[in-house]
Structure 1
């Protein structure tokens, strides 16, 4: 995780490796940039800390990590801390106390900092207008945007754009190109191998080390491409129907490829395990994948691990039929991308021709529970509660339920149920991904 150093005498905070050499007694450290900003420090112009991965350490309580995921999804764009707390089953006051204790910042301050940092990267890297950047970053108005940028960076958006470096600008042959920063090590090969094995036919593909997928935003269609970029970032090319709320597209994409949390504590604790330790030493950059769409991940896992389907090829064919039977056709993309994944309502009411009857019943039952609001696939659900609700649906296997929980952010989810894994708690999700990566290279 990036630890930020703030200098009392200058009022500036920096990322690790900055050339500044302040006296140790003048330095304070912060785990998130938002906490330094809340204390009145401004970002260093030399090392530009807004350009590094702003992740949350995995030693934070799971409730805080769930809250962060909800903030990343945009909950605080149209609601307040009371609504966020309600989704987590706690008061706003208790939620603020948790954030202050573990991150040194309130949820609102954390969300504002993320918006401002994203906007600053767009000012540096893109040719979007300042108005487009404001709404792409999740700000409700230009006035709010200007105020936030002055508070965080001590300058107006126009002044910040004039300071950008020539090397920052990313050429785009269509779409919006953005850097997705991470703190090394990060194993892109392991991530793309997993995404390729679990790709939903017609919706996702991996070709020559680049992951592509279709997306639907309020009914409008788009496409994402994610590939290697440099030693500390991936490159995302987003083909979007509009720029408003692009920050959530980018952050959902980051969640999908495991960039939102660094497994520092998990790696340290598992490194001494006789089974997982050697795997971590061989591939220290393995991360836990997330989900673009919770319902999509749920259907993929349920079908792939359904007791009635005996091979991965059978599962892939059923997924293809579900997508073709209920999804929205997307033409002209190539790379095997033909549809956007259907909504729960569409799947619940679809005929699903060619899908084995037993599997079809499970798929429609799951879709119906989600569509009617009886089953929540939100990242804030506790592991036992989520898996229990999934297992109540006929045909959902324990393995499928655990895979769904893993990709929705449950750090102790354990799809490898046959492994002797009690000693890997509470980091069985990372242990699972290490085993997956090892199996594919064996």
Structure 2
């Protein structure tokens, strides 16, 4: 957990490691930068805490965690309300606000505004985008709203903030818009790239091992774009975005962060590394993260196909599916050619070319997603999501839980997965089941499962 320190006498809050040395009696701590701002503190000009992304307290209630994720995904942008957000989670707006105040020290609207202003401040530092473009790229509905929020958060106008940026902040590229994706080290980009390569969708994604670069095609309101991610520095990756417009860029960046597992809770690693059984794995590979998903539906379709065939055949059928039903995007390099088809397209498409049983699984999954029976936005509990997925042909509990891992369910644990069991037996040959041992790894069992599966896969590849 990132803990921010706020100094009562100066009204400034700092990130961990800042060189400031205030008296301990004058310091208040906050687990979110937004909470410090809601209490009236402003960001330190030296350490610039808005440049890192904090995480929700690990022991916060599930309602709060799911609401925060929906806010990150844009639930309160473009006119979204706290009442509507609460309704998606089955609660009242009043109850949601009370829970946020109790556990985070701010309201959902305050968290959403802080997220938007921090993203805008990073764009002011890193890019040469016009102020108006930054306002809409950050999810603000108007320039007036943007200017007011920036003044309230940073005590200055956007133009004045840009004039104060440091020379090293500005990112210059030959094409596209470059953005830093900060993370809390350690982070194993090589391992993440290997995960993405093993499950990439031909035509939609590509992995260049030589360049250590991941690329994919995306769609924004019907218009195509391309994203590239490569190493940037010891505490960040570099995103190069080729987009038709910058409006809503904040949502693109958040989805990339989720897909690459950049927002893992820092408390997870020491917790797992302290377990007597599991400790050799996180200590040996401290930077391993659980891969997320740019498009949850896309990952679900792959899981439906993978349930019926091997890895190589899955890749071939996914390529066939994309070529027949995806959106063609001509002129792209690196083997990229299509955007993945949407749920409403696959719900009624002729899928005979990928096999009758496979096609039925994809049909059922697409229809359940389209009608809202399966919600992939994080608003369903893990148990409800697993039950809904398991009702689809081809989705047994193990498949459902592996998909839940990629959707960001930090406590998902596919105990019957063959690779996971193989990794467990490598640690202790006497163990035949994982569920009991996994109780000690809550609430980060998904990361524990990732370590065990990587350990098991390593044994099988020898």
Same structural fold, with TM-score higher than 0.5 when normalized by the shorter chain:
yes
CA contact (8 A) 2:125 2:165 kept: yes
Worse overlay, 127-136 or 219-228? 219-228
CA contact (8 A) 2:352 2:359 kept: no
CA contact (8 A) 1:348 1:367 kept: yes
**Structure 2: gaps (5+ residues):** 422-433
Which residue is equivalent to 1:395?
Answer: 394
Structure 1's 416 and 197: CA in aligned 2 closer, same or farther, altered over 3 A?
farther
Which residue is equivalent to 1:382?
Answer: 381
Provide the C-alpha distance between the structure 2 equivalents of 1:372 and 1:436, rounded to a whole number of angstroms. 33
Encode CA deviations 1:181-230: one digit per residue, 9 max, x unaligned: 11111121221111111112211121122111110111110011111111
**TM superposition shift of 1:332:** 2.1
Encode CA deviations 1:149-201: one digit per residue, 9 max, x unaligned: 00100000010010011100001221110001111111212211111111122
**TM superposition shift of 1:102:** 2.1
Please point out which of 200, 210, 214 is paired with 2:213: 210
Query: Is 1:421 matched with 2:435?
Result: yes
> What are the within-5 Å matches in structure 2 for residues 134-153 of structure 1?
134-153=135-154
Provide the C-alpha distance between the structure 1 equivalents of 2:173 and 2:363, rounded to a whole number of angstroms. 41
Provide the C-alpha distance between the structure 1 equivalents of 2:238 and 2:57, rounded to a whole number of angstroms. 23
Pairs aligned (count): 438
| Larger relative contact order, structure 1 or 2 (CA cutoff 8 Å, min sep 6) | 1
Which residue is equivalent to 1:344?
Answer: 343
CA contact (8 A) 1:321 1:353 kept: no
Provide the C-alpha distance between the structure 2 equivalents of 1:323 and 1:416, rounded to a whole number of angstroms. 32
Provide the C-alpha distance between the structure 1 equivalents of 2:96 and 2:31, rounded to a whole number of angstroms. 18
Please point out which of 220, 241, 244 is paired with 2:244: 241
Worse overlay, 157-166 or 427-436? 427-436
Which residue is equivalent to 2:408?
Answer: 409
Which residue is equivalent to 2:427?
Answer: none
Which residue is equivalent to 1:269?
Answer: 271
Query: Is 1:181 matched with 2:198?
Result: no
**TM superposition shift of 1:416:** 4.3
CA contact (8 A) 1:74 1:248 kept: yes
CA contact (8 A) 1:291 1:408 kept: yes
CA contact (8 A) 2:204 2:217 kept: yes
CA contact (8 A) 2:320 2:353 kept: yes
Provide the C-alpha distance between the structure 2 equivalents of 1:18 and 1:263, rounded to a whole number of angstroms. 18
Which residue is equivalent to 2:361?
Answer: 362
SS at match of 1:354: helix
Please point out which of 429, 442, 452 is paired with 1:435: 452
> What are the within-5 Å matches in structure 2 for residues 282-293 of structure 1?
282-293=284-295
CA contact (8 A) 2:13 2:43 kept: yes
Query: Is 1:256 matched with 2:259?
Result: yes
Worse overlay, 268-277 or 328-337? 268-277
Query: Is 1:86 matched with 2:87?
Result: yes
Provide the C-alpha distance between the structure 1 equivalents of 2:293 and 2:201, rounded to a whole number of angstroms. 12
**TM superposition shift of 1:111:** 0.8
Provide the C-alpha distance between the structure 1 equivalents of 2:446 and 2:238, rounded to a whole number of angstroms. 26
SS at match of 2:54: coil
CA contact (8 A) 1:325 1:352 kept: no
Query: Is 1:12 matched with 2:12?
Result: yes
Encode CA deviations 1:215-249: one digit per residue, 9 max, x unaligned: 01111100111111111111111111110110000
**Structure 1: gaps (5+ residues):** none
Provide the C-alpha distance between the structure 2 equivalents of 1:221 and 1:164, rounded to a whole number of angstroms. 32
